[in-house]
């Protein structure tokens, strides 16, 4: 086909994306450089004040707390996900696709439903309390729901299948002869794993970790449902600026900083992955 | 000997991970059939909570809204996304900017796209409602449809398009009679994926729905109900929603990989 044709096939979709994604995102970027008017609304004078406010200790601490929770969720999910992927990859080849399918299946169900499932387990009259009572424990049980731990568990639960997928890809491509060679040369199983398998499959872990971190740090649903009202992460702060506090410029500034953090991490992850594959290309 | 203990360890890890993944949703599904509705005691199998759902006007209204939004956004996104995929793959020169724009809706955090669209619609004085949710859902849906169709086009034999053009067919005829039949499984797979994403999507709908009760979708309804606590009705509703997405996505995957394997 001629070179001009692709354009009119693409233009309806590109027009849609321009109008309803590019322009709105640029608008938010612009909003971040204005400030809230005295009576709400937006005061259209150019200022860095709003962005500077994001780095105010009060809000910076919320960023930090979100980063800690997202980091914790990413770390735990990476460890469990890598172990699971390693276990799947060690099973007979004919069982692997099915195991992988069932590891990812929960990921396909509704996010709210998966989060809600943990409320059912953790709430005061929930299953865990019921089991403790059934075992004859009568004392006061620690609060399970509406805690930071509950938020971390919820995030790990929701994103674990992706980490398993990300880690399984390099593990399944691993050449078993390399590990064999290491053992023949006298390397113990642990040394082989630490010096050969782990470095060669590290990009999978990096991908999994960054994915969980990026989705967690801006998360709004999980902190709202499992963290309860008193507990705030950046996502909830952004939500509040737009739907309750009515300070759109500040909400815009918060989300721009959020985007900057994410883009930084994604670039770093691409860099790590490319370096790792470059190193492998040189070896062969 | 060492191998056997490693194998046992692997099985232990797998069982633990699968227990972690499946116990929470299994408990939810089981409770939705518990007559008493409480996790503390099993009082017998019953479908009465599903009956209560059907009797609940709010939930039925939200379900209808979700169906309207999902069908409309899927229809638009499937047409736009498929055309986009064909257009991008025909082009020999791949632009980095173009790739970024097409890929962006899949990675932009929901909350950012949500507030961006809310600001945009408000500044244009657009009345928020089902129409704005549909428009917003098309944004990410078309990106996913495009990705699925493009994957199929990687193995597409472009010489049949040349043959069709050489034989005098117009572009429209070539698209309709040659390209589309080959792409159909991928287009349907993409549409099913889009439909599921739209049915499940909460945050963007929440921000672009406006204040009225008339434009509440099912995930918004579920979110509101969850905040008031655990009820047997939510368990039943959650079970239905979960089943719908899993079945639709399994079907989508099957269509897609089945055709590729048969290639």
Tell me the pLDDT tens digit for each residue of B135-157: 999 999 999 999 999 988 888 88
Of residues A31, A102, A112, nearest to B219 (C-beta): A112
The residue behind tokens 């023949």 is A184
Distance CA B91, CA A11 (A): 13
Report pLDDT for B258.
56
Predicted TM-score (pTM) of this structure: 0.89
B145 to chain A, any CB pair closer than 8 A? The answer is no
Quick one: pLDDT band at residue B263, thresholds 50, 70, 90?
very low
Distance CA A206, CA A204 (A): 5
Count: domains in chain B:
1
- State mean pLDDT over B78-83: 96
Report whether pLDDT(A255) > 70. yes
Nearest-by-CA chain B residue for A253: B112
Report pLDDT for A5.
66
Task: Yes or no: say if A165 and A104 are a contact pair by the CB < 8 Å rule.
Answer: yes
Domain that holds residue B142: 58-262
Quick one: pLDDT band at residue B184, thresholds 50, 70, 90?
very high
Is residue B49, in this structure, part of any structural domain at all?
Answer: no
- A28-42, B2-16, B45-59, B88-102: segment of lowest average pLDDT: B88-102
- State mean pLDDT over A60-86: 95
Residues of B with CB below 8 A from A220's CB?
A: 110-111, 203
Is residue B50, in this structure, part of any structural domain at all?
Answer: no
Start-to-end Cα distance in chain A: 40
**Number of residues that make up chain B:** 263
Report pLDDT for A281.
58
ipTM: 0.89
For helices B232-262 and B2-32, give the axis angle rounded to 10 degrees: 130
Residues of A with CB below 8 A from B27's CB?
A: 117, 120-121, 127
**Choice between B73 and A194, residue whose per-residue pLDDT is larger:** B73
* Half-sphere exposure (Cβ direction) of B187: Cα atoms closer than 13 Å: 19
pLDDT in tens, B37-72: 777 678 889 888 999 899 999 999 999 999 999 999
Highest mean pLDDT among A73-77, B123-127, B236-240: A73-77
Per-residue burial over A76-103, b if 16 or more Cβ lie within 10 Å, else e, is: bbbebbbbbbbbbbbbeeeeeeebbeeb
Report pLDDT for A1.
45
For residue B167, count CB atoms less than 10 angstroms from its CB and return exposed for 0-12, middle for 13-18, buried for 19 or more.
Answer: exposed
Is residue B12, in this structure, part of any structural domain at all?
Answer: no
* Half-sphere exposure (Cβ direction) of B195: Cα atoms closer than 13 Å: 20
Distance CA B133, CA B113 (A): 12
Report pLDDT for B2.
52
CB–CB contact B203 A118 (8 Å): no
Is residue B167, in this structure, part of any structural domain at all?
Answer: yes
Please give the mean pLDDT across all residues of chain A.
Answer: 87
Nearest-by-CA chain B residue for A121: B24
- State mean pLDDT over A155-174: 93
Is residue B81, in this structure, part of any structural domain at all?
Answer: yes
CB–CB contact B22 A106 (8 Å): yes
Q: Which of A106, A20, A258 is nearest to B204 (CA)?
A: A20
The partner residues of A42 in beta bridges, in order of sequence, read A36
Residue B70, domain CATH? 1.10.3720.10
Is residue B45, in this structure, part of any structural domain at all?
Answer: no
Q: CA dist B84 to A5, A6, A102, A228, B187, Å? A: 11, 8, 33, 42, 12
Report whether pLDDT(A139) > 80. no
DSSP state letter for A42: E
Is residue B51, in this structure, part of any structural domain at all?
Answer: no
Is residue B164, in this structure, part of any structural domain at all?
Answer: yes
B173 to chain A, any CB pair closer than 8 A? The answer is no
- State mean pLDDT over A16-34: 95
A221: Cβ–Cβ under 8 A, 6 or more apart, which residues?
Answer: A111, A112, A115, A235, B202, B203, B223
Report whether pLDDT(A77) > 90. yes
pLDDT in tens, A228-244: 876 789 999 999 898 88
3-class secondary structure, A126:
coil
Q: Which domains does chain A have, with CATH numbers?
A: 57-283 (1.10.3720.10)
CB–CB contact A20 B242 (8 Å): no
């Amino acid at each position: 086909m001629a070179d001009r044709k692709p354009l009119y096939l693409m233009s309806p979709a590109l027009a849609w994306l321009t109008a309803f994604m590019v322009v709105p995102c640029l608008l938010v970027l612009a909003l971040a450089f204005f400030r809230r008017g005295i009576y709400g609304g937006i005061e259209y004078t150019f200022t860095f004040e709003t962005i500077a406010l994001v780095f105010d200790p009060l809000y910076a601490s919320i960023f930090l707390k979100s980063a800690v929770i997202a980091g914790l969720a990413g770390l735990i999910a990476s460890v469990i996900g890598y172990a699971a992927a390693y276990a799947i990859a060690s099973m007979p080849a004919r069982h692997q696709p099915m195991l992988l399918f069932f590891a990812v299946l929960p990921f396909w169900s509704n996010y709210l439903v998966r989060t809600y499932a943990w409320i059912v387990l953790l709430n005061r009259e929930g299953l865990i309390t019921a089991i403790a009572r059934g075992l004859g424990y009568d004392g006061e049980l620690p609060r399970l729901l509406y805690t930071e731990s509950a938020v971390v568990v919820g995030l790990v639960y929701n994103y674990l299948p992706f980490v398993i997928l990300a880690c399984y890809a390099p593990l399944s491509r691993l050449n078993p002869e390399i590990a064999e060679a290491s053992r023949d040369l006298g390397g113990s199983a642990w040394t082989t794993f630490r010096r050969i398998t782990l470095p060669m499959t590290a990009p999978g872990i990096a991908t999994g970790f960054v994915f969980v971190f990026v989705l967690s740090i801006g998360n709004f649903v999980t902190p709202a449902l499992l963290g309860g009202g008193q507990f705030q992460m950046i996502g909830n702060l952004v939500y509040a600026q737009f739907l309750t506090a009515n300070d759109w410029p500040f909400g815009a500034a918060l989300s721009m900083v959020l985007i900057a953090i994410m883009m930084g991490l994604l670039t770093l992850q691409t860099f790590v992955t490319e370096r790792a594959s470059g190193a492998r290309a040189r070896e062969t | 000997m060492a191998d056997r203990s490693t194998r046992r360890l692997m099985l232990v890890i797998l069982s633990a991970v699968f227990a972690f993944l499946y116990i929470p949703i299994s408990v939810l599904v089981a409770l939705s059939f518990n007559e008493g509705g409480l996790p503390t005691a099993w009082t017998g199998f019953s479908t009465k909570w599903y009956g209560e759902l059907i009797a609940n006007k709010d939930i039925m209204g939200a379900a209808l809204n979700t169906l309207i939004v999902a069908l409309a956004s899927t229809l638009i996104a499937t047409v736009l996304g498929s055309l986009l995929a064909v257009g991008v793959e025909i082009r020999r020169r791949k632009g980095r900017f173009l790739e970024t724009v097409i890929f962006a809706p899949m990675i932009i955090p929901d909350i950012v796209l949500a507030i961006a669209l809310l600001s945009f619609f408000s500044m244009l004085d657009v009345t928020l409602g089902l129409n704005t949710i549909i428009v917003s859902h098309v944004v990410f849906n078309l990106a996913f449809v495009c990705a699925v169709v493009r994957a199929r086009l990687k193995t597409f034999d472009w010489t049949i398009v040349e043959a069709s053009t050489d034989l005098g067919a117009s572009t429209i005829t070539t698209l309709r009679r040659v390209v589309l039949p080959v792409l159909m499984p991928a287009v349907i797979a993409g549409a099913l994926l889009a439909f599921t994403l739209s049915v499940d999507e909460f945050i963007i709908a929440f921000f672009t729905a406006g204040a009225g009760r008339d434009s509440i979708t099912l995930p918004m309804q579920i979110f509101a109900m969850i905040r008031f606590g655990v009820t047997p009705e939510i368990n039943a509703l959650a079970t239905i929603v979960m089943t719908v997405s899993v079945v639709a996505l399994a079907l989508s995957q099957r269509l897609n990989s089945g055709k590729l394997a048969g290639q």
